[in-house]
């Protein structure tokens, strides 16, 4: 068994280190975040860091690096207060990955990567028409991680759109039936298959 420690980390080549520590956290969610600035320019970017914050009331979080392509997402969220989270499905992983490219601010990844903007019930941020599970959120709060200047962005779920056949009687959404994918690291997309479902655990 290999032992990685502070000394071996210091000696790592930078891309090697990025790949290693981007895969070591386990599988990640795959979501496209859609935004629009005040002038109406839209932005779409893939995020692998969407995380559950709470169910009642419903909140979701995601981690944002302030100095990368994702800052358009941040600027638009701060400017308008609204954004959408849209699941990435098996059918369009290649297009979804392409949204991670560093497009200029005036280029919409919707158009550049082949997604259709969808506006639903007067919500101002664009949903992804191709996505089967879409969520409309309002910015709630942000937290600066001092260690490396990343941000935790927390939003309140205002709307959700999905086929009601995907929801079972207990409220669970079948992500496998929706064809939602998982991500490992920065580049690999996976299709999860159900192993088992357990009950609420008691001692």
Q: Does 119 bind a second copy (CB under 8 A)?
A: no
Q: Does 41 bind a second copy (CB under 8 A)?
A: no
Q: Does 133 bind a second copy (CB under 8 A)?
A: yes
User: Contact 153/192 with Cβ under 8 angstroms?
Assistant: no
- Residue 22 makes CB contacts below 8 A (sequence gap 6+) with 185, 186
Query: Least CB distance from residue 35 to a second copy, whole Å?
Result: 18
| Gap between the Cα atoms of 72 and 106, Å rounded | 10
Residue ranges in 75-94 that form contacts with a second copy under rule CB under 8 A: 85, 87, 90, 93-94
Q: Does 152 bind a second copy (CB under 8 A)?
A: yes
Query: Least CB distance from residue 92 to a second copy, whole Å?
Result: 11
Q: Does 7 bind a second copy (CB under 8 A)?
A: no
SS3 96: helix
CA distances from residue 43 to 2, 70, 104, 117 in whole angstroms, order as listed: 42, 9, 10, 10
Query: Least CB distance from residue 55 to a second copy, whole Å?
Result: 4
Q: Does 26 bind a second copy (CB under 8 A)?
A: yes
Burial 167-182 (b: 16+ CB within 10 A, else e): eeeeeebebeebbbbb
Q: In this chain, which of 38, 39, 40, 55 binds a second copy, going by CB under 8 A?
A: 55
Tell me the per-residue interface mask from 156 to 195 with a second copy, x by CB under 8 A, - otherwise: xxxxxxxxx--x--xxxx-xx---xxx-xxxxxxxxxxxx
User: Contact 136/125 with Cβ under 8 angstroms?
Assistant: yes
Piece in contact with a second copy (CB under 8 A), picked from 3-11, 35-43, 75-83:
3-11
Q: In this chain, which of 33, 44, 60, 77 binds a second copy, going by CB under 8 A?
A: 60
User: Contact 153/142 with Cβ under 8 angstroms?
Assistant: yes
Q: In this chain, which of 75, 107, 117, 124 binds a second copy, going by CB under 8 A?
A: 107
Q: In this chain, which of 74, 82, 103, 110 binds a second copy, going by CB under 8 A?
A: 103
Q: Does 116 bind a second copy (CB under 8 A)?
A: no
User: Contact 189/97 with Cβ under 8 angstroms?
Assistant: yes
Q: Does 5 bind a second copy (CB under 8 A)?
A: yes
Question: Which residue has 């299709």 as its token pair?
Answer: 191
């Amino acid at each position: 068994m290999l032992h990685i420690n502070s000394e071996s980390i210091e000696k790592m080549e930078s891309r090697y280190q990025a790949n290693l520590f981007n895969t070591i956290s386990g599988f990640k969610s795959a979501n496209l975040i859609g935004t629009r600035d005040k002038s109406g320019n839209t932005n779409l970017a893939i995020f692998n860091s969407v995380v559950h914050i709470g169910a009642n009331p419903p909140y979701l979080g995601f981690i944002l690096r302030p100095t990368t392509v994702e800052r358009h997402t941040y600027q638009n969220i701060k400017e308008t207060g609204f954004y959408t989270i849209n699941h990435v499905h098996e059918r369009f992983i290649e297009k979804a990955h392409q949204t991670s490219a560093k497009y200029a601010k005036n280029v919409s990844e919707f158009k550049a990567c082949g997604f259709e903007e969808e506006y639903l019930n007067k919500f101002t941020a664009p949903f992804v028409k191709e996505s089967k599970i879409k969520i409309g959120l309002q910015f709630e709060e942000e937290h600066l991680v001092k260690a490396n200047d990343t941000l935790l962005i927390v939003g309140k779920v205002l709307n959700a759109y999905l086929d009601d056949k995907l929801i079972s009687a207990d409220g669970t959404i079948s992500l496998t039936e929706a064809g939602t994918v998982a991500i490992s690291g920065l580049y690999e997309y996976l299709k999860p298959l159900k192993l088992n479902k357990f009950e609420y655990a008691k001692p």
